[in-house]
Amino acid sequence: MRRVDVAGKIVNIEGPRDVNTKFGPGQVATATLEDESGSVKVTLWNENISKVAVNDKVSIENGYVDSFRGELQLNVGKYGKMSKVE
């Protein structure tokens, strides 16, 4: 699913952990984003990890959803944008 826009509160962050990708080494963390309809795991890569903390309200625009290890996860991606909401 592409072009996903969502806003919610970060309720948990797991990681970060070091990984090797086809683009080279990096860091990845998994956050849980919650709103009134439920929750979803959000994959945070490299610089996006330090942009958020638990209890931050964030907005993700133009993200995409895919399946990882049998679970749906929301990704900001190359064309997406994540920002804090006041």
In order along its 86 residues, the chain shows pLDDT tens digits of 789 999 999 999 998 999 998 989 999 999 999 999 999 999 999 988 999 999 999 999 999 999 888 888 999 988 899 999 98
Domain spans in the chain, listed from the N-terminal domain onward: 4-84
Pairing type for strands 71-75 and 38-45 reads parallel
**The domain made up of 4-84 is a member of CATH 2.40.50.140:** yes
Pairing type for strands 24-35 and 4-21 reads antiparallel
